Structure 1
Amino acid sequence: RERHFGQWQGLHLTEVAERFPEEYARWRAGDPDPGADLEPLHDLGERVGAALQEAADAAPGGTVVIATHGGGSRQGIGHLLGWDTAVLRTVGSLANCHWTELRHDDVRGWQLRAHNVGLITAPVAVDAV
């Protein structure tokens, strides 16, 4: 599940900016806990990180593929890596259909192998009939 947006759930950003101007300004500035009952980024990271760890534990030594939203993924991965929210702000969100690759080593723990990777496809020429 993506981040819970509290009192903002179901609203358009224009409505949020109008109804919650102070919290919206804090959110846009990167405040990890801007108010309005938004799920704090730390809590999101713990929740998603626990789910990622649980999936990895279910397939020891194997490969696990998880589909998720970019924000939740970034925070969950940061939790596994032990990165602070301020560090995670420097890591871009995942673009659509892109992925992050992690690896776990029993000695070094979780390692980031790749982030925001996607397939690059060339345009295909189609002959008109």
Structure 2
Amino acid sequence: MTVRIAALSEQPLDFASHAAAVSGEMNGAVASFTGLVRNHDPGASGEVNQLDYSAHPDAEAKLREIAASLDAPGLEIAVSHRTGTLAVGDIAIVACVGSAHRAEAFDVCRELVETVKRELPVWKRQHTVDGATNWVGIV
């Protein structure tokens, strides 16, 4: 298995360590995605100034499962998602995929991020400058 990192963290995420984790000698490409907290959202009543991420107790195991499901020979995967309180501009998710060829690295990185977004039991509560809050991802 070549899942190098699959973790939830209350601490700030380090893009460089994720990229380094998948930059093996056999890799000619590292594709990455960094998701940042933005100051707006269609579901928010005003300007967003903070997010609170909450995770199910099994969320980290689910993240490892997602990464492992996309693993294939010749790939290296590193993915982390934040929990806790984040400000605008903070990194919420980092995903890096190393591969011998760019097309596979891009394809797997995109699928990794989309699957995490769709399946990871992590929810966010948005706070706006006017003091309002709303949950995203709660059904």
Q: Same fold (TM over 0.5)?
A: no
Greater strand content: 2
Q: What TM-score, normalized to structure 2?
A: 0.25
Greater helix content: 1
Larger RCO: 1 or 2 (CA < 8 Å, sep 6+): 2
Larger radius of gyration between Structure 1 and Structure 2: 1
Q: What TM-score, normalized to structure 1?
A: 0.26
